[in-house]
Amino acid sequence: MARRCGRRKFLTYSFSTLTISLLLKACASSQLKTTHQDLNDSQSLTLSKTSTAGDSSKTIKVGILHSLSGTMGISERMVVDAQKMAIDEINATGGVLGKQIEVIIEDAASDWSIFAEKAKRIIDIEKVLVVFGGWSSASRKALKVIFEQKEHMLWYPVQYEGQECSQHIFYTGATPNQQIEPAVDWLLANKSKKLFLVGSDYLFPRTANAIIKAQLKEKGGKAVGEYYLPLGNQEVSPIISNIQTMLPNGGAVFNTLSGESNMAFFRQLYDAGLKPNQYPVMSVNVAETEVKAIESQYLKGHYATCNYFQTLDNPANEKFVKAFKTRYGENRVTNDPMAAAYTAVYLWKQAVETAGTAEDLEKVRQAVYGQTFEAPGGPVRMETNHHLSKFVRIGQVQEDGLFKIVYSTRSLVKPVPWNQFMSDTKGYACDWSDPTKGWKYQTKPG
């Protein structure tokens, strides 16, 4: 998920035309030749290096599988932009093992069954050697089945609910202990012991809130209310009323809403006079792109928890933001899922070069372990549980729509896929470097 901090879909009417225009402009890049139907009608999009397309001896085929159309399109197209930029950069500096990367892009059209169908197509017919894709937990679960059946390799770029550790997926987004849990601790210490939980009605928010409630019970906080909306629903008035009823004197709101629900929620929260000084909202699916769509006046003073913000001051991020804006336009912003997707491409490249092959997926998988990269969000390291160690941050929305970082861990936080607040997974871990441990093993006696 998102993104989320830019996670899972986000619709916006006022920016959709601009976003599609920028996508089409990017697809016409001088480095890549694009052949496609109109995005509104097409289910797939193929981009190939013009001088080597179709010659497997000179190229390494990779797949990008995201939603270019449908309700998830606006968020996922931005991730594709970051992935394409990474691939172009790599090709411009000699490619991988002396070969250029040939990209096959498929549009999953915001449909989880299409994610599965397109994954099978690009693996079986296009013969891609790796796939970068997925967004929502539903799309990841659909892809997980295919990649495990075919013993293939997927790189998933969005923060998610954890409670999973697949041998055939590398996760470059955050686990709950790298996003949700630190944010709850920060709210308890700095804002309120009482939290109202609001989310969209699907796997990620439900699991996230179960983790939060278990964490609050252990840390002395209290969830005073919990409300879910169908995915994309904008009928947020009951949420506002419930917050006012359950927190009459103020308190914190933990927000796992996705999509256009966030637009309606923040605007109505603002109109109701529930200001961030009394009702601070901590979001996991709201990043720079969402703030721009909703408009900063409605979010100013509220918070988001991510591993990456565009305002980070480090050489890698300066280079990333400059390259992205040069390529796609000064008005564009970067966000957490985009940085995680960009990082994934480079980590895969490094692993292939370490392994000396792109075709032997088992050798590549083994070579991924321990890979480090100076990512836009700071240095990262891939652990043997297929998740990244990374920094954790909290940002506050400013007038310009960007985030002021108000909290950051001092060192990398190791990923914990199996949650340690949940009774059924407490004491469990994952380690794919050891065949006796694998996807789930008990580190402590029950």
Query: Residue 5: which pLDDT band, with cuts at 50, 70 and 90?
Result: very low
Per-residue pLDDT at 4: 43
pLDDT digit string (tens) for 216-246?
999 999 999 999 999 778 999 999 999 999 9
d(CA 322, CA 309): 14
pLDDT digit string (tens) for 167-205?
999 999 999 999 999 999 999 999 999 999 999 998 999
Per-residue pLDDT at 414: 98
Over its C-alpha atoms, the chain yields an Rg (Å, rounded) of 21
Per-residue pLDDT at 75: 81
d(CA 347, CA 190): 36
Q: Percent of the chain at pLDDT above 70?
A: 87
Q: In the numeric block, which tokens belong to residue 385?
A: 């549980």
Same-domain check for residues 170 and 30? yes
Given 3-state DSSP classes, what are the helix, strand and coil percentages for the chain, each rounded to the nearest 5?
A: 35, 20, 40
Per-residue pLDDT at 70: 84
Q: What is the mean pLDDT of residues 341-356?
A: 98
Residue that is written with structure tokens 């970067």 in the block: 334
Per-residue pLDDT at 74: 74
Same-domain check for residues 208 and 152? no
Same-domain check for residues 345 and 376? yes
Per-residue pLDDT at 232: 77
Q: Is the pLDDT of residue 412 over 80?
A: yes
Please tell me the number of Cα atoms within 13 Å of 165 on its side-chain side: 25
438, part of any domain: no
Give the highest mean pLDDT range of 10-14, 261-265, 365-369, 435-439. Answer: 365-369
CATH number at residue 198: 3.40.50.2300
Q: What is the mean pLDDT of residues 24-53?
A: 33
Query: Residue 29: which pLDDT band, with cuts at 50, 70 and 90?
Result: very low
Q: Is the pLDDT of residue 11 over 90?
A: no
Q: CA 344, 348, 354, 355 torsion: positive or negative?
A: positive
Average pLDDT, the chain: 88
Same-domain check for residues 244 and 290? yes
pTM listed for this prediction: 0.86
Dihedral angle computed from the Cα positions of residues 251, 256, 260 and 265, in that order, rounded to the nearest 10 degrees: -10
Residues of the domain holding 305: 177-311+394-408
Per-residue pLDDT at 32: 34
Same-domain check for residues 25 and 145? yes
Per-residue pLDDT at 176: 98
63, part of any domain: yes
